[in-house]
Protein backbone atom coordinates (compact mmCIF):
# COMPACT_ATOMS: atom_id res chain seq x y z
CA UNK A 1 0.00 0.00 0.00
CA UNK A 2 1.34 3.43 -0.96
CA UNK A 3 1.93 5.74 2.00
CA UNK A 4 2.57 9.47 2.21
CA UNK A 5 6.29 8.65 2.59
CA UNK A 6 6.25 6.88 -0.79
CA UNK A 7 5.48 10.15 -2.56
CA UNK A 8 8.01 12.58 -3.95
CA UNK A 9 7.86 15.97 -2.20
CA UNK A 10 5.66 17.71 -4.78
CA UNK A 11 3.17 14.83 -4.82
CA UNK A 12 3.13 14.62 -1.02
CA UNK A 13 2.51 18.34 -0.74
CA UNK A 14 -0.36 18.13 -3.23
CA UNK A 15 -1.94 15.17 -1.42
CA UNK A 16 -1.74 16.87 1.97
CA UNK A 17 -2.99 20.19 0.58
CA UNK A 18 -6.03 18.48 -0.90
CA UNK A 19 -6.76 16.65 2.33
CA UNK A 20 -6.42 19.85 4.39
CA UNK A 21 -8.82 21.68 2.08
CA UNK A 22 -11.42 18.91 2.43
CA UNK A 23 -10.97 18.98 6.21
CA UNK A 24 -11.56 22.74 6.29
CA UNK A 25 -8.03 23.46 7.54
CA UNK A 26 -6.16 26.62 6.49
CA UNK A 27 -3.86 26.20 3.47
CA UNK A 28 -0.76 27.30 5.39
CA UNK A 29 -0.86 24.09 7.39
CA UNK A 30 0.77 22.27 4.48
CA UNK A 31 3.98 24.21 5.10
CA UNK A 32 3.95 22.80 8.64
CA UNK A 33 3.25 19.23 7.56
CA UNK A 34 5.69 18.66 4.70
CA UNK A 35 8.90 19.31 6.72
CA UNK A 36 7.75 16.70 9.24
CA UNK A 37 7.97 13.97 6.60
CA UNK A 38 11.74 14.12 5.99
CA UNK A 39 13.44 17.36 7.00
CA UNK A 40 12.37 17.30 10.67
CA UNK A 41 10.75 13.88 10.79
CA UNK A 42 8.39 12.61 13.47
CA UNK A 43 7.45 9.01 14.22
CA UNK A 44 3.79 9.93 14.60
CA UNK A 45 1.88 13.07 13.79
CA UNK A 46 1.07 13.19 17.50
CA UNK A 47 4.71 14.21 18.04
CA UNK A 48 4.31 17.33 15.86
CA UNK A 49 3.34 19.45 18.84
CA UNK A 50 3.18 22.69 16.83
CA UNK A 51 -0.09 21.38 15.36
CA UNK A 52 -3.49 21.41 17.11
CA UNK A 53 -4.18 18.14 18.91
CA UNK A 54 -7.35 17.40 16.93
CA UNK A 55 -5.47 17.81 13.64
CA UNK A 56 -2.71 15.50 14.84
CA UNK A 57 -5.25 12.81 15.67
CA UNK A 58 -6.86 13.16 12.24
CA UNK A 59 -3.49 12.97 10.50
CA UNK A 60 -2.49 9.83 12.38
CA UNK A 61 -5.71 8.23 11.14
CA UNK A 62 -5.68 9.51 7.56
CA UNK A 63 -1.92 9.58 6.87
CA UNK A 64 -0.15 7.20 9.28
CA UNK A 65 3.64 7.35 9.11
CA UNK A 66 5.20 3.91 8.58
CA UNK A 67 8.49 3.10 10.25
CA UNK A 68 11.37 0.64 10.34
CA UNK A 69 12.26 -1.04 13.62
CA UNK A 70 15.92 -1.05 14.60
CA UNK A 71 16.06 -4.66 15.80
CA UNK A 72 19.83 -5.05 16.08
CA UNK A 73 22.69 -2.57 16.12
CA UNK A 74 26.34 -3.53 16.24
CA UNK A 75 29.18 -1.05 16.61
CA UNK A 76 32.76 -1.81 15.61
CA UNK A 77 35.87 -0.60 17.35
CA UNK A 78 36.53 1.53 14.25
CA UNK A 79 33.18 3.30 14.65
CA UNK A 80 31.33 1.39 11.89
CA UNK A 81 27.70 0.77 12.82
CA UNK A 82 25.61 -2.06 11.39
CA UNK A 83 21.80 -1.93 11.71
CA UNK A 84 19.30 -4.71 11.09
CA UNK A 85 15.95 -3.11 10.30
CA UNK A 86 12.69 -5.03 10.69
CA UNK A 87 10.15 -4.07 8.03
CA UNK A 88 6.41 -3.84 8.74
CA UNK A 89 5.73 -7.26 7.17
CA UNK A 90 8.47 -8.98 9.19
CA UNK A 91 11.19 -9.01 6.54
CA UNK A 92 14.57 -7.55 7.46
CA UNK A 93 17.27 -5.53 5.72
CA UNK A 94 20.61 -4.07 6.74
CA UNK A 95 22.41 -0.77 6.47
CA UNK A 96 25.90 0.25 7.57
CA UNK A 97 27.07 3.67 8.76
CA UNK A 98 30.77 4.26 8.12
CA UNK A 99 32.37 7.32 9.73
CA UNK A 100 35.60 8.69 8.31
CA UNK A 101 36.68 12.13 9.43
CA UNK A 102 33.86 14.56 8.70
CA UNK A 103 32.25 12.09 6.31
CA UNK A 104 29.49 9.71 7.34
CA UNK A 105 28.67 7.22 4.59
CA UNK A 106 25.49 5.17 4.87
CA UNK A 107 25.32 1.95 2.86
CA UNK A 108 21.63 1.19 2.24
CA UNK A 109 19.59 -1.75 0.95
CA UNK A 110 17.10 -1.72 -1.92
CA UNK A 111 15.80 -5.30 -1.73
CA UNK A 112 15.21 -7.80 1.04
CA UNK A 113 17.63 -10.45 -0.17
CA UNK A 114 18.88 -10.58 -3.75
CA UNK A 115 18.24 -12.90 -6.71
CA UNK A 116 21.66 -12.57 -8.36
CA UNK A 117 23.68 -15.12 -6.35
CA UNK A 118 27.10 -13.59 -6.91
CA UNK A 119 29.78 -15.94 -5.62
CA UNK A 120 31.18 -13.47 -3.07
CA UNK A 121 27.90 -12.19 -1.62
CA UNK A 122 26.20 -13.40 1.56
CA UNK A 123 22.96 -11.68 0.56
CA UNK A 124 22.68 -14.00 -2.42
CA UNK A 125 22.38 -17.05 -0.16
CA UNK A 126 18.94 -15.92 1.00
CA UNK A 127 17.51 -15.33 -2.47
CA UNK A 128 15.08 -12.52 -3.17
CA UNK A 129 12.40 -12.00 -0.53
CA UNK A 130 10.89 -8.87 -2.05
CA UNK A 131 11.63 -5.41 -3.36
CA UNK A 132 11.62 -2.54 -0.90
CA UNK A 133 9.15 0.30 -1.27
CA UNK A 134 10.57 3.76 -1.90
CA UNK A 135 9.88 4.82 1.69
CA UNK A 136 11.62 1.71 3.07
CA UNK A 137 14.76 2.64 1.14
CA UNK A 138 14.81 6.30 2.16
CA UNK A 139 13.68 5.49 5.72
CA UNK A 140 17.09 3.93 6.37
CA UNK A 141 18.25 7.56 6.48
CA UNK A 142 15.08 8.88 8.15
CA UNK A 143 15.44 6.48 11.08
CA UNK A 144 18.94 7.79 11.80
CA UNK A 145 17.46 11.28 12.13
CA UNK A 146 14.93 9.89 14.63
CA UNK A 147 17.43 7.92 16.72
CA UNK A 148 18.43 8.67 20.30
CA UNK A 149 21.60 10.28 18.90
CA UNK A 150 20.39 11.77 15.60
CA UNK A 151 22.90 11.62 12.77
CA UNK A 152 22.54 12.64 9.13
CA UNK A 153 24.72 10.86 6.58
CA UNK A 154 26.84 13.05 4.33
CA UNK A 155 27.00 10.30 1.69
CA UNK A 156 24.63 7.50 0.72
CA UNK A 157 25.63 4.44 -1.31
CA UNK A 158 23.25 1.83 -2.72
CA UNK A 159 25.65 -1.00 -1.88
CA UNK A 160 23.67 -2.88 0.73
CA UNK A 161 21.34 -5.82 0.22
CA UNK A 162 19.87 -6.22 -3.24
CA UNK A 163 20.47 -4.97 -6.78
CA UNK A 164 19.06 -1.41 -6.98
CA UNK A 165 18.33 -1.48 -10.69
CA UNK A 166 16.14 -4.57 -10.34
CA UNK A 167 13.88 -2.35 -8.21
CA UNK A 168 14.10 0.72 -10.40
CA UNK A 169 10.68 2.30 -9.84
CA UNK A 170 11.15 2.42 -6.06
CA UNK A 171 14.83 3.41 -6.33
CA UNK A 172 13.92 6.17 -8.78
CA UNK A 173 11.55 7.73 -6.22
CA UNK A 174 13.97 7.04 -3.35
CA UNK A 175 16.71 8.95 -5.18
CA UNK A 176 14.39 11.97 -5.30
CA UNK A 177 13.57 11.62 -1.60
CA UNK A 178 17.24 11.40 -0.71
CA UNK A 179 18.25 14.35 -2.88
CA UNK A 180 15.36 16.84 -3.00
CA UNK A 181 15.73 19.96 -0.87
CA UNK A 182 12.22 19.50 0.53
CA UNK A 183 13.07 15.94 1.60
CA UNK A 184 16.45 14.69 2.88
CA UNK A 185 18.53 17.16 0.88
CA UNK A 186 21.67 15.06 0.28
CA UNK A 187 23.63 16.31 -2.72
CA UNK A 188 23.38 14.17 -5.85
CA UNK A 189 27.17 13.90 -6.08
CA UNK A 190 27.11 12.37 -2.61
CA UNK A 191 24.69 9.60 -3.65
CA UNK A 192 26.10 6.54 -5.43
CA UNK A 193 24.11 3.80 -7.13
CA UNK A 194 25.99 0.51 -7.41
CA UNK A 195 24.83 -2.01 -10.00
CA UNK A 196 25.99 -5.17 -11.72
CA UNK A 197 24.69 -3.58 -14.93
CA UNK A 198 20.95 -4.02 -15.49
CA UNK A 199 20.81 -2.39 -18.89
CA UNK A 200 17.18 -1.13 -19.17
CA UNK A 201 17.28 0.62 -15.80
CA UNK A 202 20.86 1.77 -16.35
CA UNK A 203 19.59 3.75 -19.34
CA UNK A 204 16.83 5.29 -17.21
CA UNK A 205 19.31 6.29 -14.51
CA UNK A 206 21.49 7.92 -17.17
CA UNK A 207 18.53 10.05 -18.29
CA UNK A 208 18.04 11.61 -14.85
CA UNK A 209 19.38 15.19 -14.82
CA UNK A 210 20.97 15.01 -11.37
CA UNK A 211 24.65 14.16 -11.03
CA UNK A 212 24.17 10.92 -9.13
CA UNK A 213 27.32 8.81 -9.10
CA UNK A 214 27.47 5.35 -10.63
CA UNK A 215 29.53 2.39 -9.45
CA UNK A 216 29.63 -0.78 -11.52
CA UNK A 217 30.15 -4.05 -9.66
CA UNK A 218 32.76 -5.36 -12.06
CA UNK A 219 34.94 -7.86 -10.13
CA UNK A 220 36.42 -9.35 -13.30
CA UNK A 221 37.95 -7.70 -16.37
CA UNK A 222 36.66 -10.24 -18.91
CA UNK A 223 33.24 -11.65 -19.65
CA UNK A 224 34.47 -15.24 -19.27
CA UNK A 225 35.92 -14.69 -15.80
CA UNK A 226 32.97 -12.56 -14.69
CA UNK A 227 30.60 -15.39 -15.58
CA UNK A 228 32.30 -17.68 -13.05
CA UNK A 229 31.58 -15.14 -10.29
CA UNK A 230 28.36 -13.43 -11.38
CA UNK A 231 25.53 -15.34 -13.07
CA UNK A 232 24.01 -12.07 -14.35
CA UNK A 233 26.77 -12.13 -16.96
CA UNK A 234 24.62 -14.64 -18.88
CA UNK A 235 22.01 -11.95 -19.46
CA UNK A 236 23.92 -8.68 -19.54
CA UNK A 237 27.36 -9.29 -21.01
CA UNK A 238 30.29 -7.16 -19.93
CA UNK A 239 30.86 -5.54 -23.36
CA UNK A 240 27.20 -4.38 -23.39
CA UNK A 241 27.46 -2.99 -19.87
CA UNK A 242 30.65 -1.11 -20.73
CA UNK A 243 29.06 0.32 -23.87
CA UNK A 244 26.10 1.60 -21.82
CA UNK A 245 28.42 3.67 -19.63
CA UNK A 246 28.99 6.16 -22.45
CA UNK A 247 25.52 7.60 -21.68
CA UNK A 248 26.75 8.89 -18.31
CA UNK A 249 28.06 12.42 -18.12
CA UNK A 250 30.14 11.78 -15.01
CA UNK A 251 33.01 9.56 -14.09
CA UNK A 252 32.13 5.94 -13.35
CA UNK A 253 33.73 3.81 -10.64
CA UNK A 254 34.51 0.11 -11.05
CA UNK A 255 34.10 -1.93 -7.86
CA UNK A 256 36.53 -4.83 -7.78
CA UNK A 257 36.57 -7.33 -4.89
CA UNK A 258 39.96 -8.99 -4.87
CA UNK A 259 39.97 -12.78 -4.60
CA UNK A 260 43.28 -14.59 -4.37
CA UNK A 261 44.16 -16.60 -7.47
CA UNK A 262 40.87 -15.68 -9.16
CA UNK A 263 41.00 -12.06 -10.31
CA UNK A 264 44.28 -10.71 -8.88
CA UNK A 265 46.76 -12.08 -11.42
CA UNK A 266 49.00 -9.99 -13.67
CA UNK A 267 46.87 -10.80 -16.69
CA UNK A 268 43.79 -9.57 -14.81
CA UNK A 269 45.55 -6.30 -14.05
CA UNK A 270 46.43 -5.71 -17.69
CA UNK A 271 42.91 -6.52 -18.87
CA UNK A 272 41.44 -4.22 -16.21
CA UNK A 273 43.71 -1.39 -17.37
CA UNK A 274 42.30 -1.70 -20.89
CA UNK A 275 38.63 -1.50 -19.96
CA UNK A 276 39.10 1.14 -17.23
CA UNK A 277 40.94 3.43 -19.67
CA UNK A 278 38.32 2.91 -22.36
CA UNK A 279 35.55 3.83 -19.90
CA UNK A 280 37.48 6.65 -18.21
CA UNK A 281 36.71 4.87 -14.94
CA UNK A 282 38.45 4.86 -11.60
CA UNK A 283 38.85 1.54 -9.77
CA UNK A 284 37.99 0.74 -6.15
CA UNK A 285 39.89 -2.35 -5.02
CA UNK A 286 37.98 -3.97 -2.18
CA UNK A 287 39.31 -6.67 0.13
CA UNK A 288 37.09 -9.73 0.34
CA UNK A 289 35.58 -9.57 3.82
CA UNK A 290 37.21 -12.37 5.83
CA UNK A 291 35.04 -15.10 7.30
CA UNK A 292 32.17 -14.68 4.86
CA UNK A 293 33.42 -16.59 1.84
CA UNK A 294 33.92 -20.33 2.29
CA UNK A 295 35.96 -21.55 -0.67
CA UNK A 296 37.23 -18.09 -1.59
CA UNK A 297 40.40 -16.52 -0.18
CA UNK A 298 40.98 -12.78 0.23
CA UNK A 299 43.91 -11.37 -1.71
CA UNK A 300 46.70 -10.44 0.75
CA UNK A 301 47.05 -6.74 1.51
CA UNK A 302 50.49 -6.50 -0.07
CA UNK A 303 49.17 -7.85 -3.36
CA UNK A 304 46.20 -5.45 -3.29
CA UNK A 305 48.64 -2.57 -2.80
CA UNK A 306 50.87 -3.72 -5.67
CA UNK A 307 47.84 -4.30 -7.90
CA UNK A 308 46.66 -0.73 -7.20
CA UNK A 309 50.15 0.61 -7.90
CA UNK A 310 50.24 -1.32 -11.17
CA UNK A 311 46.97 0.27 -12.26
CA UNK A 312 48.19 3.74 -11.37
CA UNK A 313 51.50 3.26 -13.20
CA UNK A 314 49.49 2.50 -16.31
CA UNK A 315 47.34 5.61 -16.03
CA UNK A 316 44.28 4.27 -14.19
CA UNK A 317 43.08 6.04 -11.03
CA UNK A 318 42.86 3.34 -8.37
CA UNK A 319 42.19 3.23 -4.64
CA UNK A 320 42.78 0.24 -2.37
CA UNK A 321 40.03 0.32 0.26
CA UNK A 322 40.47 -1.13 3.71
CA UNK A 323 37.96 -3.41 5.38
CA UNK A 324 35.77 -1.78 8.01
CA UNK A 325 33.83 -3.41 10.83
CA UNK A 326 35.96 -6.54 10.92
CA UNK A 327 34.91 -7.26 14.53
CA UNK A 328 31.19 -7.21 13.65
CA UNK A 329 29.07 -8.74 10.87
CA UNK A 330 29.59 -5.63 8.73
CA UNK A 331 29.64 -7.28 5.32
CA UNK A 332 26.29 -7.04 3.56
CA UNK A 333 23.97 -9.92 4.43
CA UNK A 334 26.20 -11.37 7.15
CA UNK A 335 24.12 -10.18 10.09
CA UNK A 336 20.86 -11.43 8.66
CA UNK A 337 22.42 -14.74 7.57
CA UNK A 338 23.96 -15.13 11.03
CA UNK A 339 20.46 -14.86 12.50
CA UNK A 340 19.29 -17.75 10.34
CA UNK A 341 16.94 -15.76 8.10
CA UNK A 342 17.81 -17.36 4.79
CA UNK A 343 14.76 -19.45 3.89
CA UNK A 344 11.54 -18.80 2.05
CA UNK A 345 12.85 -16.97 -0.99
CA UNK A 346 10.47 -15.86 -3.71
CA UNK A 347 10.94 -16.21 -7.43
CA UNK A 348 13.25 -13.67 -9.00
CA UNK A 349 11.92 -10.89 -11.17
CA UNK A 350 12.48 -11.35 -14.89
CA UNK A 351 15.76 -9.45 -15.04
CA UNK A 352 17.14 -11.27 -12.02
CA UNK A 353 16.10 -14.83 -12.85
CA UNK A 354 19.55 -16.24 -13.47
CA UNK A 355 21.23 -19.51 -12.66
CA UNK A 356 24.35 -20.11 -10.63
CA UNK A 357 27.05 -21.38 -13.02
CA UNK A 358 28.66 -24.68 -12.18
CA UNK A 359 31.81 -24.63 -10.13
CA UNK A 360 31.17 -21.39 -8.22
CA UNK A 361 32.02 -21.75 -4.57
CA UNK A 362 31.34 -19.88 -1.35
CA UNK A 363 29.94 -16.48 -0.56
CA UNK A 364 31.04 -13.36 1.22
CA UNK A 365 29.70 -9.83 0.90
CA UNK A 366 28.36 -7.46 -1.65
CA UNK A 367 31.09 -4.84 -1.45
CA UNK A 368 30.66 -1.29 -0.40
CA UNK A 369 32.78 1.74 -1.16
CA UNK A 370 33.41 4.87 0.85
CA UNK A 371 31.98 6.97 -1.96
Burial 91-119 (b: 16+ CB within 10 A, else e): bbbbbbbbbeeeebbbbbbbbbbbbbbbb
Cβ neighbours of 24 (radius 10 Å): 6
* CA–CA separation, 67 and 185 (whole Å): 20
Catalytic: which of 107, 114, 118, 332?
A: 332
Catalytic: which of 94, 136, 233, 341?
A: 94
Please check whether residue 216 is in contact with residue 248, taking contact to mean a CB–CB distance below 8 angstroms: no
Q: Is 341 a catalytic residue?
A: no
Please check whether residue 186 is in contact with residue 211, taking contact to mean a CB–CB distance below 8 angstroms: no
* CA–CA separation, 146 and 133 (whole Å): 19
Please check whether residue 199 is in contact with residue 236, taking contact to mean a CB–CB distance below 8 angstroms: yes
Cβ neighbours of 275 (radius 10 Å): 19
Q: Is 121 a catalytic residue?
A: no
Positions annotated as catalytic residues are 94, 332
Amino acid sequence: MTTILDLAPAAAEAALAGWLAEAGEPAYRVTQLVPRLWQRPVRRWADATELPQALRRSLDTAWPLPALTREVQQESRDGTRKMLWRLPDGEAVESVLIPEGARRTLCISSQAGCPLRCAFCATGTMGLKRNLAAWEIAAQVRELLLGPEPVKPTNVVFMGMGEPLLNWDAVDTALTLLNHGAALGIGARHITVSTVGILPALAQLARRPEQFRLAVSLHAPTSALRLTLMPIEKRYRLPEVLAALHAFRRRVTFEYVMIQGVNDRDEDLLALVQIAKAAGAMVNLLPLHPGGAPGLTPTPGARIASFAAGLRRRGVAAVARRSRGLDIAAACGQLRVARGEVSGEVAAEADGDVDQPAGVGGVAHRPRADA
